[in-house]
Amino acid sequence: MTREETIERIRGIQAEVQRLRQASDNPAIERTMQLLDLYCHMARWELGDVEAMIPEAETR
Amino acid sequence: MQLYKPEVEAQRFWNPYTQTMPRADLDRLHLRKLQTVIAYAYAHSPMYRKLLDRHKVRPEQIRTMDDFVKRLPFIDKKEILDAQAVSPPFGDALAISEDFFHQRFATSGSTGVPLHIPLTYHSAELWGESWVYGFWAAGLRARHSFYFAFNWGIFAAFWSAYMGVRRLGATVVSGGGLDSKARLRQIEQYRPDVLLATPTYALYLGETAREIGMDLAKTSISHVYVAGEPGASIPATRRAIEELWGAKCYELYGIAELGPTNPGCPLQGGVHLCEEWYHALVVDESGHPVPYGEVGEHIVTSYIQDGQPLIKYRTHDLVRWTDVPCGCGTTWLYYPGGVLGRTDQMIIVKGVNVYPSALEALLHRVAGLSEHYELHVARDAVNDFVTVKVEARAEIGEDRYASVGREAEAVFKSVIGVSIGVEVQKPGSLPRYELKAKRFFDHRPVEHRWQLTGGPGA
């Protein structure tokens, strides 16, 4: 898989995770989705896809 | 079942994408990361907003690396402490809600007031990852277990290594709350692969082992990973640790308020800048970057500290940076010899720069001298002068101290080119330390020590 394909798939997963985080009213699920959001953000930085310093500072 | 797929586990680099990136591409990526961090700091940290406003520079004006180097001011520990004092513990330096805090650290405050360090979960994960670059390059994987000869206190110290072992997916074995003998017994019992300790403590455990009749070279330890003070990049110190433990010795160089900035090169002669999460400049006393190959003060920007951003932070560490391709294959900047000293430990004898790490390395060349030494620096009207106090090894008779001292003086003179005095002392006469050793004693007037006088906005 190319870097570009990897980034595109991570971005897609992250967007879905963010929607789930917003939709859930379960604290355990919200925290897990928040961490998944963070890990997607980290993975994108590791591939040079730099948008904001932390996920919460990204444009949404 | 394995944590990593075999073809992934066989990879040489933790993140081949950035670790092998050509320099020009790395620098372009750095600029984008720097712009992101500067914009974040300006928006969220009152300290940075005031600092940049005072220097009449706005984040959007940093368009090139040259802008970053020339327009953006350095920041020093004193300014962070002043910002924290506005409303302790974090005051104006804080850039994020405490909701995001994961852990708090503080420095010892041995030179004044403690500096407080807020760490978010994001920062903690990436502090850990910086260690993983070094672990992975040294061949350490998820199947290995890591022994922490460390008391888990408020100092950052090896906490970041713990975060690294978690990030790697390996096993933590805690030696917290135990004395040295109990730790050695635990090592026998749990058979860890890696010892994490300061170089001073890794060697100190040798004395404890001798007391209880234990041979450290016969333990399960195959790797000693040191941090906290110069160690594995000094060949003689590395050799002493490797012979004692029958293990390979690597080091990581980090700074408490910034994290683990430089994991060790697997070829062991120095450290690499972790260019994934840090940017660095090396500058002279006037604040200008020195050419590659030269020595200067290490100025670091972190891409990790979202709780308390640090941009162009003065570390006061002296390093030599190089961009020559390293034999280990990474394109990341290489610092041969690791940290060469502190700016406040800069010694100039008759026009020659003398680095404490170089003196330590040469001392080990002289048979009959131990690893326990102190450097005392004083000054006459025009010159610094240095006296090394060093313990003899137990097998050397007192009648030989003077001749061994003269031999060490001759080694210094022939390699460095200037006279360094050597006083050989009895074994056990110098203090012992469990963490960092205090080896440097400066008796010079303050005005004769390194001072960064220039730089943007100076």
B276 CB near a chain A CB, below 8 Å?
yes
- Provide, as residue numbers in chain A, all residues whose Cβ is less than 8 Å from the Cβ of B121: 35, 38
Q: How far is A31 from chain B (nearest CA, A)?
A: 12
Beta-bridge partners for B391: B425
Whether residues A38 and B126 touch (CB distance < 8 A) is answered with no
Q: How far is B33 from chain A (nearest CA, A)?
A: 7
Per residue in B38-55, pLDDT tens? 999 999 999 999 999 999
Per residue in B335-349, pLDDT tens? 999 999 888 777 888
Q: Determine the average pLDDT of the residues in B202-206.
A: 93
| Interface subset of B 29-68, CB within 8 angstroms of A | 29, 32-33, 36-37, 40
CB of B246 closer than 8 Å to CB of B223: no
Q: How far is A46 from chain B (nearest CA, A)?
A: 7
B311 CB near a chain A CB, below 8 Å?
no
**pLDDT for the residue B173:** 98
Whether residues B120 and A46 touch (CB distance < 8 A) is answered with no
Residue B183: pLDDT above 90?
yes
- Which one of B119, B122, B310 would you mutate to disrupt binding with A, by most A Cβ within 10 Å of its Cβ? B122
Whether residues B125 and A53 touch (CB distance < 8 A) is answered with no
Residues sharing a CB contact under 8 Å with residue B203, sequence separation 6 or more, in sequence order: B240, B241, B244, B371
Q: For chain A, percent helix, then strand, then coil, each to nearest 5?
A: 75, 0, 25
- Provide, as residue numbers in chain B, all residues whose Cβ is less than 8 Å from the Cβ of A57: 40
Residue B365: pLDDT above 90?
no
**pLDDT for the residue A37:** 97
- Provide, as residue numbers in chain B, all residues whose Cβ is less than 8 Å from the Cβ of A50: 29, 32-33, 36
B120 CB near a chain A CB, below 8 Å?
yes
Beta carbons within 10 angstroms of residue B89's beta carbon: 15
Residue B356: pLDDT above 60?
yes
Per residue in A4-35, pLDDT tens? 999 999 999 999 999 999 999 999 999 999 99
Structure tokens at B94: 């804080």
Helix-helix angle B235-245:B199-211, to 10 degrees: 40
Q: CB-CB: which of B18, B36, B129 is closest to A53?
A: B36
Beta carbons within 10 angstroms of residue B101's beta carbon: 17
B8 CB near a chain A CB, below 8 Å?
no
**pLDDT for the residue B454:** 62
pLDDT interval class at B371 (50, 70, 90): confident
- Provide, as residue numbers in chain B, all residues whose Cβ is less than 8 Å from the Cβ of A4: none
State how far the Cα of B294 lies from the Cα of B335, in Å rounded to an integer.
10
* Percent of all residues in chain B with a pLDDT value above 70, rounded to a whole number: 97
Whether residues B125 and A42 touch (CB distance < 8 A) is answered with yes
What pTM value is reported for the model?
A: 0.88
Instruction: Give the residue on B whose Cα is nearest the Cα of A50.
Output: B33
Looking at every residue in chain B, the average pLDDT score rounds to 92
**pLDDT for the residue B350:** 78
B18 CB near a chain A CB, below 8 Å?
yes
- How many CB pairs below 8 A link A and B? 39
Whether residues B40 and A52 touch (CB distance < 8 A) is answered with yes
DSSP B230-287: S-TTSHHHHHHHHHHHTSEEEEEEEETTTEEEEEBPTTSSEEE--TTTEEEEEE-TTS
CA angle B167, A48, B73 (to 5 degrees): 95
Phi, psi for residue B450 in degrees, rounded to 5: -55, 135
ipTM of model: 0.95
